[in-house]
Amino acid sequence: MERNEIYRGLVWVMWAQLFLYVDFTIGGLNVLPRWIGYVFLWRAIRLLREARPTLGLLEGLCVLLGVRAVFQTNLAKAWLATLPAALEGAGTLLGVVLLALDVYFEYQLLTDLASLAGAVGEDGVEASLRHSRDGLTVLYTLSCLVAGFATPPDWLTVLLVVGTMGALVCVVWNLNRVRRCYAPEAPGEA
């Protein structure tokens, strides 16, 4: 039963990455909103926390980041624009807090998922996922710093976007390998 749940949880995590990192808008409507990514992750955490208790620590964070993602939608931005300008400073401070939590959340999530591969003896998969996690975290952090606090040259922006997407592909590919480790056994094998 637990094996099945881990398998399903990993599928949710893989789908979540699509919503978290890919922005696709048609006619002003974002068809891959980030907050749906956090809903998927929340479901995944609930399925996986029994197998990996430290994942349970991320549940509250996931909700918090999901709420932030809701406030990043165009509709919410339009509403936020109507608030008094004096609240802008508080919003900026909250943004810094949530950005740091975002970096932490993604890192710990992937660390725990890598440990799931290690738990079934797939040390190679675990190491591979940890490496791609490191790359993704570093590039994501740099992207946040560059985008939020400086005016980057075009080449750096392109480099960071391409690098982040490359690291993301590696993460998803390795997550798929972890998922296969927990593939449901055929009735005959059982």
3-state SS, residue 106:
helix
State the minimum distance, in angstroms, from the CB of residue 103 to another protein: 5
The most distant pair of C-alpha atoms in the chain lies apart, rounded to whole Å, by: 66
Contact mark string toward another protein, 124..143, x via CB under 8 A? ------x---x--xx--x--
In the numeric block, the tokens 């005959």 are attached to 188
Contact mark string toward another protein, 84..103, x via CB under 8 A? -----x--xx-xxx-xxx-x
3-state SS, residue 25:
strand
Q: Which of 71, 72, 107, 120 binds another protein (CB under 8 A)?
A: 107
Q: Which is nearer to another protein, 95 or 121 (CB)?
A: 95
State the minimum distance, in angstroms, from the CB of residue 131 to another protein: 11
Report d(CA 55, CA 52) in Å as an integer: 6
What residues from 150 to 169 belong to the interface with another protein (CB under 8 A)? 150
DSSP 120-134: TT-HHHHHHHHHHHH
100-117 core/surface letters (b: 16 or more CB in 10 A; e: else): eebeebbbbbbbbbbbbb
Binding residues vs another protein (CB under 8 A): 53-54, 57-58, 60-61, 64, 89, 92-93, 95-97, 99-101, 103-104, 107-108, 111-112, 130, 134, 137-138, 141, 144-145, 148-150
